[in-house]
Chain A
Amino acid sequence: MAEIQIRNVAKTFGTYQALHSIDLTIADQEFMVLLGASGCGKTTLLRIIAGLETPSVGEVWIGGRRVDHLPPRERGIAMVFQNYAVFPHLTVFENVAFGLRMAKLDDRLVRERVERTAGLMHIEALLQRYSGQLSGGQRQRVAVARALAMEPDVILMDEPLSNLDALLRLEMRAELKGVLEASNTTTIYVTHDQVEAMSLADRISVMHQGRIVQAAEPVEVYRNPAAHFVGSFIGNPPMNFITARNQGDGKWQVAGQQFTGPSVASETLEFAIRPEDLSLAETGLQANVRVVEPLGAHILVTCDVEGSLFRAVIDSNSRVKAGDVLHIAPEPDRIRWFDPETTLAVA
């Protein structure tokens, strides 16, 4: 059992505030992904949980034990680093066995566990090699095997796939998911790749400028972004935004069209819609087409709606050309509203 609680954790480096009072609970055996652009504090948060960085304030609890004053080795964690950190002077076998030897397990047990985890990660044939003789993907496997062999309560992964080429990343992603699901550990996984986050996570914590903006299931994060940032960061192409004017009684005017929205007093709101929730129609938002990009299954249309940049993903049978004037209609129940002041979602 290893539930992780982060209570009011903040971190400053000199005058730079890397993390602003983070509160987050990660359930036992949950796969939590910390997602954000570089410099958003996700790696700092991971390193604080690992004990490689000390929080300026706040507490970290793992499995009901307060650990923020403990060194990494006493926290029951294992970590996989972005650059793999496979020890170059040891064979793959000794790398995987390293933590077990430190824990003074007897030789027979060490051999058993190393062989079992090596089997899981498909590196049995490499056990006598040195890291200099391995490819990037193989090193990645060794690094994961080394963490798994510890049978830790918590596995922390810092962008483990970002140094692999695209094809290998896809393959390792699926494999990691399978192995980690079977291992019953709590996993915290840092990445800047939204596709990785979507496909792996039980829950995603989207981070921005040292804060957690939203922590929810992947579909929820995608469908109901809690803030403007989440909508614009997640989804490729990202969400479309345009200003809506209050007409009273929950009616909002967007580019000459009227939509039903939240009944709030503010003068303007941000109207937001995902590109795939727009379709061609007889009436709708008037759009001047700028660029048309056929993507095979769909066409990505970049257009101008009353001065705002809009992207729509439409059926590949439509004959749209640059310069056309279209009418695009948003799916009514997919429209989201954001407060322009706080950037937060308005229900």
Chain B
Amino acid sequence: MSVAESPKLPGSPRRAGNILFGATALLLCAWVLVPIYLLIVNTLSSPEAVTAFPKSFVPGWDFANLEFFAGFAGILKALKNSVLVAGVTMLLAILIGAPAGYALSRFDFPGKSAFRILILMTRAFPLPLLALPLAVMFIRTGLDDTILGLAIVHTTLALPFSVLITFSLFSGIPIELEEAAWTLGCTREQAFRKVVLPLILPGIAASAVFAFVISWNEVFAASVLTIENRTLTAFLLQSLDVSPMHLKFAGGFVLVVPALIFIFAVRKYLFAMWGIANR
């Protein structure tokens, strides 16, 4: 209960537990942060420093790599495409996924469990298998090489997760809260807007981030279905394959940083704890 009461023996289980806890936290942080740090160091070093040995662990503050990268023909356009596709994917995944999740958690209908399994089954199809017929179909309908076309494909990839995440979110909200709202004068729609929505917003944000990241990282469909309007992953795959090391680092940096910024921006929703604090 209180720290003062516990005996201060060096080998006490409490202290051992604390050390283990600290070490685990440190290890997990290092697991995430060290690669990102190295990526940043190498991105911000001159080409010579990147290939030199022993490696430096402080950035050289040399922006030549990034400048070169920014000047690289098409890179900005690819970046823009990636953001757009991921953004549209995120919107579609939530707009389609959240109502499906709500229906799954609140209504009983025939074939409910089969439907849940089918949602997961969509992930069982390997994308390469689908890519060719999809490309043909997209060319026929004129969806090939467009933001929307690729976003639709990414949405199908992200949808199972957004349905299942929102399903568990809605299930975590007691139906009594909605019922209480109905007895207090709300229609079903008002109760949803005033009670359920504020409660699941953090979860929706998390599931949106997830959809965004799935789209942002997806490379196969992006490479097959776009030519002119390449996303960043597809563009980098194509152009960095044969580039020198320092440019690969810069490319990696450009891929990782926007996703980090995005998650940082919505972190308050990811960690929100109602009634305690919005940290």
Contacts and interface: CB of A to CB of B under 8 A. Distances in A.
Given A81-B179, A85-B177, A132-B275, A98 B184 contact: yes
Interface stretch (A31-39, A70-78, A118-126): A70-78
Nearest to A98: B184
B181 interface: yes
B276 A150 contact: no
A73 B274 contact: no
Interface residues of A, number: 26
A167 interface: no
Interface string A142-181: 0000100010000000000000000000000000000000
Contacts of A87: 177, 180-181, 195
Contact of B179 (A85, A146, A150): A85
A94 to B, nearest CB: 10
A102 B179 contact: no
A133 to B, nearest CB: 6
Nearest to A104: B185
A88 B275 contact: yes
A328 interface: no
Interface string A108-144: 0000000000000000000000111100000000000
Interface string A81-110: 111010111000000001100110000000
Contacts, number: 70
A17 B273 CA distance: 42
A103 B184 CA distance: 9
B275 A99 contact: no
A85 B190 contact: no
Nearest to A99: B184
Interface in B166-224: 174, 176-177, 179-187, 190, 194-195, 198-199
A52 interface: yes
B184 A71 contact: no
Contact of B183 (A78, A83, A133): A78
B186 A85 contact: no
A130 B272 CA distance: 14
A52 B186 CA distance: 13
A50 B275 contact: no
Given A73-B187, A102-B185, A102-B190, A85 B274 contact: no
B186 A73 contact: yes
Contact of A73 (B176, B177, B184): B184
Contacts of B198: 89
A131 B199 CA distance: 13
A40 interface: no
A3 B263 CA distance: 57
Nearest to B180: A85
B191 to A, nearest CB: 9
A132 B274 CA distance: 7
Contacts of B176: 81-83, 85
Given A79-B180, A85-B180, A89-B198, A130 B185 contact: no
Interface string B248-279: 00000000000000000000000001111000
Contacts of A82: 176
A148 to B, nearest CB: 12
B184 A146 contact: yes
Nearest to A156: B183
Contacts of A78: 183-184
Contacts of B184: 73, 78, 98-99, 102, 146, 150
A341 to B, nearest CB: 40
Contact of A52 (B174, B179, B194, B199): B179
B181 A98 contact: yes
A3 to B, nearest CB: 20
B15 to A, nearest CB: 32
Given A79-B180, A130-B275, A85 B185 contact: no
Nearest to B176: A85
Nearest to B178: A85
A130 B273 CA distance: 11
Contacts of B174: 83, 85
B271 to A, nearest CB: 15
19 contacts: A51-B183, A72-B179, A72-B183, A73-B184, A73-B187, A78-B183, A81-B179, A81-B180, A85-B176, A88-B274, A88-B275, A89-B274, A99-B184, A99-B185, A102-B184, A102-B185, A130-B276, A132-B275, A133-B275
Closest 6 CB pairs of A and B: A132-B275, A102-B185, A130-B275, A99-B184, A85-B180, A85-B176
Interface of A: 50-52, 71-73, 77-79, 81-83, 85, 87-89, 98-99, 102-103, 130-133, 146, 150
Interface of B: 174, 176-177, 179-187, 190, 194-195, 198-199, 273-276
Given A52-B179, A83-B176, A85-B176, 12 more contacts: A50-B179, A71-B182, A73-B182, A73-B184, A73-B186, A73-B187, A82-B176, A83-B174, A85-B179, A89-B195, A89-B199, A132-B274
